Amino acid sequence: MSPRRRLTGIRPRHRSTCATVSGGQCDCRPAWEASVGSGRAGKVRRTFESQAAAKSWRADALTKLNRGQLSSGRSRRVREAAAAMIDGMREGAVRTRSGDPYKPSAIRSYDESLRLHVLPPIGAMRVSQVKRQDIQAIVDQLHADGKSPSTIRNAIVPVRVIFRRSIRGGEVSVNPCASLDLPAVRGRREHIPSPGEAAALLAALPQPERGLWATALYAGLRRGELRALRWQDVDLKAGVIHVRQAMDSRGTIIAPKSAAGTRTVPMAKVLRGYLKAHRLQNGSSQYVFGAGPRPFHPGSAAKRARKAWTTAELTPIGLHNARHAAASVLIAAGVNVKALSTYMGHSSITITLDLYGHLFPGNEDEAAQLIDAYLQRSGGAPGRARRRR
């Protein structure tokens, strides 16, 4: 083909044995390379068996390029995109779809999910190279490893954010997180021990373990808050616990889960007794439930408690179950929902009602009686209509 008739963006790819290599006439059947874009990093190239196929692809690619739907093969690697996203979240530059900054707890969760589940298999891949089957393979592997449906879905959430941002930035045109086959998350209510069960569970524990579980059962602190609790945060005289910090899974001191997480929690008399006894044994430790300068390990604490409860033929619970038990005691004692939300460290009453609304007293009969009584008082009941004057 003469230079004058050569098609821009399309060129033949001769075989290494072709005579053109030495300046002769072509004696092979060349492939055809089509390209769009400009610059070494910005070009997208494809190779075809025929010139017609190359021309067809290039025409379609030019349309997509003009619409911003075609990306270069030189996009960032997934680990680079992930790092940029997490850094942006921490700085407040990357926000939720509603425009709110991400909570510290959400950022920590995203970072951990990416490090543990996502970056090992696809971190070295370029964002534009990731296909739906690559993300589905992560889901399938987590399922094969016995991870819960909620854990699997939470692992994919930060990946969705990465590719949503990459599409907006023109780095990719197709979202590989679309139409994934994810396991269904079935809502289930966890076992909440009654006050009698709670007392029996504590009595079955060795003395050094009781303070931790009593605080979880009667004050409802989160696991990270229990790990970071210091004696200076426990006011035995005033009967309150000040929640000022938390600790992540790596032992780093962090802020509580949200602004509402910094709070003051009332200390019941029964809990005060357990903590006084615990202080006699562990008062010199930096952390209330740690050993010397080290915090306690939740997995080890749960394992020791489970062994004691199994021996006593009691149903074992976890620290999260204990937190629910604390909430149930507050509700049964008549604490209003606003105060309950504050003591539990929830960012809104809505969260409290979603979690514990089923525990509040009252039923259909009681509601009907209250409505009847109100209508009777207000003149809205039958036979009590007010006369016009």
Q: What is the pLDDT of residue 362?
A: 63
The answer to the question of residue 151 being in a domain is yes
Residues 158 and 203 in one domain: no
Residue 136 belongs to what domain range? 78-168
163: domain CATH number is 1.10.150
What values do phi and psi take at 364, rounded to 5?
-65, -40
Q: What is the pLDDT of residue 2?
A: 42
The number of distinct structural domains making up the chain is: 3
- Which pLDDT band, with edges at 50, 70 and 90, does 106 fall under? confident
> In the predicted model, is pLDDT for residue 34 greater than 80?
yes
The answer to the question of residue 22 being in a domain is yes
pLDDT digits (tens, 9 = 90+) for 131-187: 999 999 999 999 999 888 988 999 999 999 999 998 887 778 789 998 899 998 766
User: What is the C-alpha to C-alpha distance for residues 82 and 89, in angstroms, rounded to an integer?
Assistant: 11
Residue 369: burial class (beta carbons within 10 Å; 0-12, 13-18, 19+): exposed
Place of tokens 């076992």: 191
Cα of 374 vs its chain's centroid, Å: 45
List all residues 6 or more positions away from 11 whose beta carbon is below 8 Å from its beta carbon.
32, 33
Residues 219 and 347 in one domain: yes
What values do phi and psi take at 9, rounded to 5?
85, 0
The answer to the question of residue 335 being in a domain is yes
> In the predicted model, is pLDDT for residue 68 greater than 60?
no
pLDDT digits (tens, 9 = 90+) for 330-350: 988 889 999 999 999 998 898
Residues 221 and 272 in one domain: yes
> In the predicted model, is pLDDT for residue 233 greater than 60?
yes
Of 5-9, 94-98, 354-358, the range with the highest mean pLDDT is: 94-98
The answer to the question of residue 207 being in a domain is yes
The answer to the question of residue 7 being in a domain is yes
Q: What is the pLDDT of residue 219?
A: 95
pLDDT digits (tens, 9 = 90+) for 266-316: 999 999 999 999 999 988 899 999 988 899 999 999 999 999 999 999 999
pLDDT digits (tens, 9 = 90+) for 35-48: 876 544 456 777 88
Taking a C-beta distance cutoff of 8 angstroms, is the pair 234, 265 a contact? no
Q: What is the pLDDT of residue 269?
A: 93
Residues 206 and 309 in one domain: yes
Residues 314 and 344 in one domain: yes
> In the predicted model, is pLDDT for residue 72 greater than 70?
no
The answer to the question of residue 35 being in a domain is yes
Residues 329 and 266 in one domain: yes
Q: What is the pLDDT of residue 104?
A: 83
Residue 145: burial class (beta carbons within 10 Å; 0-12, 13-18, 19+): exposed
Q: What is the pLDDT of residue 103?
A: 83
> In the predicted model, is pLDDT for residue 6 greater than 60?
no
